[in-house]
Amino acid sequence: MAAALEGAALGKAVSALFEIVKDVTGNTLKFGDVLERLESTLGRLKGVVEDIERSHREMGRPDEISALIKQMKKGEDRVKKYSKLQWWKYPMRSHYTSKLCKLEDDLIRFFQLDVTALTYRSVSKTWNVVSDTLARKNLACVGSCAVPEPPDFIVGLDVPLEELKMRLRKEEESMLVLTAPGGCGKTTLVTMLCRDQEIKGKYEGNIFFFTFSKSPNVKVIVQEIFRKKKEQVPQEFSSDEDAISQLKQLLNRMEQKPILLILDDVWSGSESLLDNFAFHIPNYKILVTSRNAFPRFPFRYNLEPLNGKAAMKLFRHSANLKDGNSFIPSEDIVEKIVKDCGGFPLALKVIGRSLCGQSEMVWRSRVMEWSNDHSILASSTSSDLLVCLQKSLDFKDKEIIIKKCFLDLGSFPEDQRIRVAALIDMWSELYELDEDGIQAMANLYEITYRNLASLRVTRNDASEVGIYCSEDYVLQHDLLRELAIHQSSQEPIEQRKRLIVDISENKLPKWWKESRQQPISAQLLSISTDDKFSSSWCNIQASEVEVLVLNFQTKNYTLPKFVEKMDKLKVLIVTNYGYFHAELDNFQLLGSLSYLKKIRLEKVSIASLFKSLVELKSLEKISIFMCNIGQAFRACTIQVSDALRNLKEITIDCCIDLTELPAGLCDIGCLKKLGITDCHKLSALPEEIVKLVNLEVLGLKSCTDLAQLPESITSLNKLSILDISDCLSIRKLPKHIGELHNLKKLHMEGCLRLRNHFPPSTWDLDQLELVTCDEERAKLWEPVKDFLTNLQVEVVGKDNNLNWLPLQDF
């Protein structure tokens, strides 16, 4: 009671002095300067006084502020007295002025020294009290199950909150995984949920919140639940199993009241521990937050980064960009920084705070710094953001290959789709993964589960990944790409195993232009240029490179001269991200590369390349995506079969000017896979296809003008997979299709004009195991199934979308 009275007296004393000073400052000229300073000082100290008042009221120590109260009252009397100074005492003004100055100095001294000492003592005493309490309750190393306080300012989570509440209402979802990359606001969203009136009303007193973290302690979690329910806390459990057993008994005693258990920040590898808490109890829900999606648990909610409007609002708040501020940077700088933060709440807060109150010069300098370092994460102001995101890369030793695959995703430009086919080509050589891409897809799924990227697939048949992945792609958030680049850039340039170079206009990195350049040891080299690059290359010594990724946006692109010195190059990926097809020069440089096995070309003109086709004796696979083919293979100066004598696989996707398959390709006798997808003007296959005696896979998906398959195709004795899906013009199967004795899989969904009964030889396809088709075609297979007892006919639904198109086409 005494503390409360003293606190109130302190507040009144400060207010009284402030008001009298404010009042006389405008009414007297005798002490104008000193009174204005004193008014300003008191104005700044009012907030501090409120904190002191509150603290000492709580701590019960009124004696420590009694001196300050006396000082305030004394000052009030002085100001009143001196403001009424008579004219005949005017010569004594300097004396009274010094008195007022002394009052100001005494106040400042008290707050600089005495209050600091009092604060330190209060903190020490508070810590002693807390320590004693923790010791008494045996909580020295135990976390509480109380819900943490949400941030003071939250934006953009209202819709996710309502969606999360809706998911919790569903009875079948007893365990829900809330998943997102680090720094996206998962914990914030959960704290909002716990304070929502509807949720609090439903789970009154039965919301238990635990930070699961990397090394969870099951016994501690159970003890905390007992403590919150004011049950006798078991002193010690014999095992985790014993703790879980007693927890189940406790929850069953709670008379079927709704229970919400929140396990925050669950790490990969803890799935088995989650199972321990999954009791079959009515009205019992578990909400898990994690950077990992945990595919074993079917119910998941993915929290997306903030949209542009919400991100801008949060950043402006964090940077204190409010109307009336003395400085607000130009809008283009603000927008650039917000874009670089990628909608991550943590990034927006960290970067916003670091720039708060800084001059425009600092803002511009910071943007240039991030641009030169390729990453906002390279800034010293982003250390806590970097630490947060790096936690997502905590892989076990046996999972190090997955981390490497994630880092490789940084080789492709931001905001662009990364083709799975390109990744398979890279990883099969860098990490000796299988050529069909099954292991690569498994790694991509793991990366997706960890929210480090997003995988979009069109066909889920794992046995045919390498054949049907032309439309599959990966999307990666800009900030996660920056993380990959940052992690790959920790060693000196010449020592990096993965070197990623982004070139704006013609500004080559400083290290590249140095005359005495050291050879680089990178196995993977990625060079991305924009639409203003002039293909003016400096030399680079990169003889150790095995995979070269070239990304560009110009209409004309020249392969760097230093490519011909890449003696170990195995994979070349050339991608044009511009709107128009590009002419590619210097293709003849590849003739000197004796180890080059795979080439992937996207949105370039193929016709110009093959006019002077060089011998690529080691080339095993060529992929052509969205290219202009024209008469490419007809205009060659040498035989295609001589130039590509070891070619085993050709994929041609989305090449709209391909009207017929060049007969010259049929001379490549070692070819095993031929895939032609979404080439809508392809009207016929040559009879010479019979020469492809080693062909095992023939894919003709979505070649809508293809009217028929040549009869000669039935002589391909090694053909095991045939895909004519969405070939809308095919009316019949080859008469002697039954001679394909090794055919195991036939995909024919969407062949709408294929309505007549199949030829009698179809009954001879005794190796046929799987047919995928629509309902109408499935009926045509009914008679055949009576003879082919091992045949499975699978009816598949149609997924009509344009997801395979590049982003800029929308």
DSSP run (H or E) holding 99? helix 93-109
Rg (CA), the chain: 36
Nearest alpha-carbon partner for 658 in 674, 679, 675: 679
Contact 83, 27 (CB under 8 A): yes
Query: Quick check: 560 pLDDT over 60?
Result: yes
- Concatenating the DSSP letter of every residue in 471-538 gives T-EEE--HHHHHHHHHHTTSS-GGG-SEEEEEEBTTB--HHHH-SSPPPP--SEEEEEE-TT----PP
Mean pLDDT of the chain: 80
The domain 158-302 is placed in CATH, from the list 1.10.357.10, 3.40.30.10, 3.40.50.300, 3.30.70.890, at: 3.40.50.300
Residues 6+ apart with CB under 8 A from 233: 223, 226, 227
CATH of domain 395-480: 1.10.10
| Sequence-distant contacts of 772-778: CB under 8 A, at least 24 apart | 772/725, 772/745, 772/746, 772/747, 772/748, 772/796, 773/747, 773/748, 773/749, 774/749, 774/750, 774/798, 776/752, 777/748, 777/749, 777/751
What is the domain partition of the chain in residue ranges? Answer: 2-136, 158-302, 308-387, 395-480, 662-672+689-701+712-810
DSSP state of 30: T
Q: Compute the Cα dihedral for 180, 184, 186, 187 and give only its sign.
A: positive
Contact 291, 180 (CB under 8 A): yes
Query: Quick check: 683 pLDDT over 50?
Result: yes
539 pLDDT tier (thresholds 50, 70, 90): confident
CA separation for the pair 408, 429 (Å, rounded): 13
3-state secondary structure of 599: strand
Q: For the stretch 344-356, what's the b/e string if a residue is b when 16 or more beta carbons lie within 10 angstroms of its beta carbon?
A: bbbbbbbbbebbe
Beta-carbon count within 10 A of 84 CB: 10
Residues 6+ apart with CB under 8 A from 163: 301
Contact 526, 551 (CB under 8 A): yes
CA 268 to chain centroid, in Å, comes to 17
Amino acid identity of residue 81, one-letter, is K
Contact 255, 277 (CB under 8 A): no
325 pLDDT tier (thresholds 50, 70, 90): low
Rounded to the nearest 5 degrees, what angle is found at the Cα of 705, between the Cα atoms of 702 and 708?
A: 95
Residues 6+ apart with CB under 8 A from 299: 167, 172, 173, 175, 176, 177
**Tens digits of per-residue pLDDT, 373-424?**
556 676 655 566 677 677 667 777 778 999 999 999 999 988 788 999 999 9
Amino acid identity of residue 510, one-letter, is K
Mean pLDDT over 689-712 rounds to 93
Q: Give the CA count within 13 Å in the CB-facing half-sphere of 641.
A: 12
**Tens digits of per-residue pLDDT, 614-670?**
788 899 999 999 998 876 666 565 677 778 889 999 999 999 888 888 777 888 889
Q: For the chain, what percent of residues have pLDDT higher than 70?
A: 73
**Tens digits of per-residue pLDDT, 91-104?**
555 555 666 666 66
Mean pLDDT over 320-347 rounds to 80
DSSP run (H or E) holding 745? strand 745-747
What's the pTM value of the predicted model, to 2 decimals? 0.65
Q: Compute the Cα dihedral for 295, 300, 302, 303 and give only its sign.
A: negative
